[in-house]
């Protein structure tokens, strides 16, 4: 599709509403506005107008706003039509725009044109989509910060610090005969410290933003009748999962969503882990293992009353030593585990928390004892801080680019300290800058652009 086409889309949500929006962008907008409205509206002023069909009859009467290039969202001529929000009315307006020479916009094409025309970078464009999808106030505020350019500005500041370092090391390359102790110069060591400090601050804010956007996926697992579904219900504050005394009640995964002080939590209840009695239970257990391998954390629930009375020679999970249960060794190695000792109300054990490998939380899903400890543990284990904490809307690709850039910068400093290899140091810093450029779109590919903007809604 030609990026020079004039595009149109219904920019409001599908369905019946008081007001609906049709948006146009492109070089042909002034001509189309003249035909559709009778004349081109004054720039950036809301005008009450009739929207005309091919016979000059009114499709509707509403408000039109015209934004001449380059002072518009896309950097092109833009026309927005605010009509009554009936499905038919908006469809008629859209069909009229197509008759007059527009092409139906692809998902995200308005934001893509804004990027291509220098009105925003990719990080800002992604923040637009994150703001639309935000599920909490904290997530929305983080998205607004990034949309307004705070994330990009901090990336550019970090790139400038790396550039400053490159200037000094390349000076050492250009003047090899000079007696310059590069690393011992206070100015250089100060610059190195600022670079690493800046990486830490940006990564912390970006991780908070990623948590606000994507949430934490937590799988509740364990043997039958350990109280997994009761724990899910207690965390949700509702009887979502069926709970009975019969083992194997849960046969399939059950997904629920909640917020812990702004942290989105994706909770997954699973079938009890044991030798399956039938094909349906076997499939449920297979799915449980599949979910555990994809989780951010596993809550492995143990019946504390059964463990206390088992009489096993190995230390009980309730013991001060906190010896691991043998079945924990079979859990996915790459996924962190929290051992949840449930049903403490049956044995009079107090609620509490013990650090270790794995950490242990003592709770009662029936009474709610220890549930606040578990909630706080989930937030702290994810590195989440209550409130906004200056979070910046970020995605996994941003975190990956930051991690690669930081690793290159740290590796460059180490290599320089070991061998005084100035050329390698300068090259690693250049690669670190390039990795940062992936975040803002200074370094991008057509595939990446298609993936990013293809995930937007039509009309944005």
CA distance 316 to 409: 47
Residue 388 confidence (pLDDT): 55
Residue 309 confidence (pLDDT): 42
Domain boundaries along the sequence of the chain: 7-118, 128-211+392-454, 216-381
Which tokens sit at 281? 């239970």
Classify domain 216-381 at the CATH class level. alpha beta
User: Residue 77's CB: how many other CB atoms inside 10 A?
Assistant: 24
- The mean pLDDT value for 304-321 works out to 53
Confidence band, pLDDT 50/70/90 cuts, at residue 147: very high
Q: What's the pLDDT tens digit per position in 215-261?
A: 899 999 999 888 888 999 999 987 776 665 555 556 678 889 888 88
Phi, psi (degrees; rounded to nearest 5) at 62: -160, -155
pLDDT exceeds cutoff 50 at 314: no
Fold of 7-118: Gyrase A; domain 2 (3.30.1360)
Are the CB atoms for 53 and 92 separated by under 8 Å? yes
pLDDT higher for 413 or 117? 117
Residue 9 confidence (pLDDT): 97
- Judged by average pLDDT, the poorest of 16-20, 84-88, 440-444 is 440-444
CA distance 292 to 269: 10
CA distance 314 to 316: 6
Residue 188 confidence (pLDDT): 66
Are the CB atoms for 391 and 138 separated by under 8 Å? yes
Residue 168 confidence (pLDDT): 72
Residue 178 confidence (pLDDT): 55
Place of tokens 């720039």: 43
CA distance 188 to 214: 38
- The mean pLDDT value for 131-149 works out to 90
User: Residue 5's CB: how many other CB atoms inside 10 A?
Assistant: 17
> H-helix or E-strand containing 65?
strand 58-67
Residue 321 confidence (pLDDT): 43
84 forms beta bridges with 19
User: Residue 12's CB: how many other CB atoms inside 10 A?
Assistant: 17
Q: What's the pLDDT tens digit per position in 450-459?
A: 777 887 887 8
Place of tokens 């180490």: 414
- Judged by average pLDDT, the poorest of 47-56, 179-188, 386-395 is 179-188
Q: Give the CB-side neighbour count of residue 61, counting CA atoms within 13 A.
A: 2
Confidence band, pLDDT 50/70/90 cuts, at residue 271: confident
Phi, psi (degrees; rounded to nearest 5) at 298: -110, 130
Mean pLDDT for all residues in the chain: 85
> H-helix or E-strand containing 337?
strand 337-342
Residue 185 confidence (pLDDT): 55
62 forms beta bridges with 49
Are the CB atoms for 27 and 12 separated by under 8 Å? no
What is the dotted CATH code of the domain comprising 128-211+392-454? Answer: 1.20.120.430
Which residue, 459, 454, 403, 411, is CA-closest to 210?
A: 403
Confidence band, pLDDT 50/70/90 cuts, at residue 2: low
Residue 172 confidence (pLDDT): 62
* Max avg pLDDT among 12-21, 91-100, 282-291, 437-446: 91-100
> H-helix or E-strand containing 47?
strand 47-52
Q: What's the pLDDT tens digit per position in 336-350?
A: 999 999 999 999 999
Q: Exposed, middle or buried: residue 113 (CB in 10 Å: 0-12, 13-18, 19+)?
A: buried
Residue 425 confidence (pLDDT): 76
User: Residue 42's CB: how many other CB atoms inside 10 A?
Assistant: 11
Q: Exposed, middle or buried: residue 451 (CB in 10 Å: 0-12, 13-18, 19+)?
A: exposed
Q: What's the pLDDT tens digit per position in 399-449?
A: 999 999 999 988 877 766 666 666 777 788 889 999 999 999 887 667 667
pLDDT exceeds cutoff 60 at 179: no
Number of H-type helices and E-type strands within the chain: 14, 13
- The mean pLDDT value for 107-136 works out to 91
- Percent with pLDDT over 90 in the chain: 52
């Amino acid at each position: 599709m030609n990026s020079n086409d004039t595009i149109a889309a219904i920019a409001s949500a599908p369905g019946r509403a008081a007001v609906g929006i049709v948006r146009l962008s492109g070089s042909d907008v002034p001509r189309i506005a003249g035909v559709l409205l009778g004349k081109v509206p004054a720039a950036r002023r809301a005008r009450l107008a009739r929207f005309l069909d091919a016979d000059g009859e009114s499709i509707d009467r509403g408000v039109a706003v015209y934004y001449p290039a380059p002072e518009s969202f896309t950097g092109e001529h833009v026309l927005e039509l605010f009509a009554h929000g009936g499905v038919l009315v908006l469809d008629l307006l859209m069909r009229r725009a197509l008759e007059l020479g527009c092409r139906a916009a692809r998902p995200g094409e308005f934001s893509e044109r804004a990027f291509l025309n220098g009105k925003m970078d990719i990080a800002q464009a992604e923040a637009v989509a994150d703001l639309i999808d935000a599920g909490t106030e904290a997530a929305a505020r983080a998205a607004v910060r990034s949309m307004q350019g705070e994330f990009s500005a901090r990336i550019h500041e970090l790139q400038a610090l790396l550039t400053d370092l490159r200037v000094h090391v390349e000076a050492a390359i250009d003047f090899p005969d000079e007696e310059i102790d590069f690393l011992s110069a206070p100015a250089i060591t100060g610059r190195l410290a600022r670079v690493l400090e800046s990486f830490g601050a940006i990564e912390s804010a970006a991780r908070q933003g990623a948590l606000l956007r994507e949430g934490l996926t937590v799988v509740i697992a364990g043997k039958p009748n350990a109280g997994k579904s009761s724990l899910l219900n207690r965390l949700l504050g509702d009887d979502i999962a069926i709970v009975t005394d019969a083992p194997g009640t849960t046969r399939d995964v059950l997904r629920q969503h909640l917020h812990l002080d702004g942290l989105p939590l994706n909770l997954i209840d699973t079938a009890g882990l044991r030798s399956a009695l039938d094909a349906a239970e076997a499939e449920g257990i297979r799915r449980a293992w599949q979910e555990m391998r994809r989780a951010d954390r596993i809550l492995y629930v143990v019946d504390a009353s059964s463990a206390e009375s088992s009489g096993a020679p190995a230390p009980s999970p309730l013991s001060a030593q906190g010896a691991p249960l043998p079945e924990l060794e079979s859990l996915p190695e790459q996924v962190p585990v929290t051992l949840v000792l449930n049903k403490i109300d049956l044995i009079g054990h107090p609620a509490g928390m013990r650090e270790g490998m794995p950490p242990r939380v003592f709770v009662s899903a029936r009474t709610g004892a220890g549930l606040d400890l578990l909630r706080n543990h989930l937030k702290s284990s994810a590195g989440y801080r209550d409130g906004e904490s200056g979070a910046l809307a970020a995605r996994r690709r941003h975190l990956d680019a930051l991690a690669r850039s930081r690793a290159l910068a740290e590796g460059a400093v180490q290599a320089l300290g070991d061998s005084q290899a100035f050329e390698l140091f300068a090259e690693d810093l250049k690669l670190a800058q390039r990795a940062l450029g992936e975040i803002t779109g200074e370094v991008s590919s057509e595939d990446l652009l298609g993936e990013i903007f293809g995930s937007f809604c039509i009309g944005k």
